[in-house]
Amino acid sequence: MKRVKKYGLPLMIALMAVFASGCWNSRELRDMSIVIGMGIDAVPDSQQYRVSFQIVNSGAMQAAGSSQGGANMLPIVVFNEKADTLFGALRKVSRKVPRRLFFGHIQVVVIGESIARKGMPEVFDFFERAHEIRMNSAVLIARDATAEKVISIITPLERLSAIGIAKRTRMSSHLWAENADSTVHEVVREIVGPGVPVIGGIRVFDAENAGQTTKNLENSKLPSFLKVQGLSLLREGKLAGWLDGRLARGALLLRKELKNTVYEVPCGDSGHEVVVSVARSRVGVKPKLEQGKLTFAVDIMETGSVVEANCALDPGRSETLEQLQKQWEKLVEQEVTEAVKAAQEKQSDIFGFGTTVRHRYPEQWKTMEKDWPKRFAESGVEVHVDMFLRRTGMRGETFKEEQSK
């Protein structure tokens, strides 16, 4: 009993202190501005950054969901500020925004091409240190436009355009496979390794200069829109070039990031194509070091189905399938080979070949690592492709084949 009296009061006081301090760092929602998009540009003829913030216009969102209307109110507002550092711009913009910025829901980070060509390690150093910013936010590079312009475009299908950009990036990467779906965390992880990260590009098409107004919401044919396009080629943290179209697809396949796509396979010399949808891909890369010469053996296997045929053939015949498979193999081999060649010209090991060398030849890697971009550019690559068509759709002969009989 005496022990209870002795320790009971101090324990009670300690517990009261713990529970009473539970809300000491709380923030009221009405005192915060929710940032969903961020753009980073270089200020011309200066070492400063121009940082732009896409913020949810909560008043417009509330009005749109009520009987008060609000159709003419923009769902987002964009503020920007210049500073010598990114964190300085973040705090400096408080002179323009009446609420504290909250980054817990940021969806996309857009980096201006001017910043990308100067170098981006400092940018990602900031993101890794900032505890409020989501590391799984999508990251893109603005092509032939400023990052501010990209995050200022109003889009009709997604009222919050930053969310639309993030969804567009994921969807296109998954279905078409000519752009990267990279997050801040993934880029940071590759920066510290022997490989090179890839970042997708995004373009602005704004011929009528209407993308930042409600005019872009009033037309069925958009006067202004955004388009994700291409893969970055980085060298020493700086943008050195781009891979577009089928070369971007070949690069994603070799990086083991191709989830789905379609190939237009030529039907011999007819000038027409058979469209093949990919179901599964498998890629293996093995380095070989012989007499100081480094060669990479690339083995690719894909399976797919015929989803469209625009020429006179019967995909149900085994000889026809074999012919199509050979044409498909030739197409993929060409795409991958040309993608590697383009990356080697920029000395940008976006395929992670350096990682395979480090694992297989750890002692030799210690010497190669010092000038790996050059060694990568001088390496040989042997591509072997096996393709298998598993299905030909709901019919056998094409209409053109039946009509030719």
Residue 70 confidence (pLDDT) above 60: no
Q: For position 329, what pLDDT does the model report? A: 97
Would you tell me which CATH number, out of the four given (3.90.850.10, 3.40.50.2300, 3.90.950.20, 3.30.300.210), belongs to the domain 256-405? 3.30.300.210
Edge-to-edge strands, sheet with 293-309: 262-266, 273-290, 293-309, 380-391
Q: For position 96, what pLDDT does the model report? A: 95
Confidence of residue 126 (pLDDT cuts 50, 70, 90): very high
* Widest distance between CA atoms in the chain: 106
Q: For position 19, what pLDDT does the model report? A: 56
Question: Taking Cα atoms as reference points, which of 231, 335, 230, 226 lies closest to residue 278?
Answer: 335
Q: Report which secondary-structure segment, H or E, holds 354.
A: helix 353-360
pTM over the 0.85 mark: yes
Contact 162/108 with Cβ under 8 angstroms? yes
Residue 255 burial (10 A CB sphere; 0-12, 13-18, 19+): middle
CA atoms of 222 and 154, how far apart (whole Å)? 10
Residue 13 confidence (pLDDT) above 70: no
Confidence of residue 140 (pLDDT cuts 50, 70, 90): very high
Instruction: State the Rg of the chain over Cα.
Output: 27
Q: H helices of 153-264, where? A: 161-175, 184-191, 245-254
Please, what's the b/e burial string for 108-130 (b: 16 or more CB within 10 A of its CB; e: otherwise)?
A: bbbbbbbbbeeebeebbebbbee
The mean-pLDDT minimum among 340-344, 391-395, 400-404 falls in 400-404
Residue 69 confidence (pLDDT) above 60: no
Residue 20 confidence (pLDDT) above 90: no
Q: Where do the structural domains in the chain lie, given as residue ranges?
A: 28-243, 256-405
Residue 12 confidence (pLDDT) above 80: no
| Residues 207-250: tens digit of each pLDDT | 777 788 888 888 888 889 999 999 999 999 999 999 999 999 99
Intra-chain end-to-end CA distance of the chain, in Å? 104
Contact 80/49 with Cβ under 8 angstroms? no
The neighbour count for residue 192, using CB atoms within 10 Å, is: 10
CA angle 122, 79, 74 (to 5 degrees): 135
What is the arithmetic mean of pLDDT over 170-188? 95
What is the arithmetic mean of pLDDT over 26-31? 65
The neighbour count for residue 161, using CB atoms within 10 Å, is: 28
Confidence of residue 3 (pLDDT cuts 50, 70, 90): low
Q: For position 62, what pLDDT does the model report? A: 66
Could you give the 3-state DSSP secondary structure of residue 68?
A: coil
Q: What backbone phi and psi angles, to 5 degrees, belong to 20?
A: -70, -25
CA distances from 60 to 65, 66, 210, 218 (A): 9, 10, 19, 17
| Residues 194-204: tens digit of each pLDDT | 679 999 999 99
CA distances from 134 to 79, 90, 106, 123, 279 (A): 20, 15, 7, 14, 32
Which one-letter amino acid corresponds to residue 349?
D
What is the arithmetic mean of pLDDT over 99-107? 92
Which residues, including other chains, have CB under 8 Å from residue 5's CB and lie 6 or more apart? none
Contact 261/281 with Cβ under 8 angstroms? no
What is the arithmetic mean of pLDDT over 42-53? 95
Rounded mean pLDDT of the chain?
88
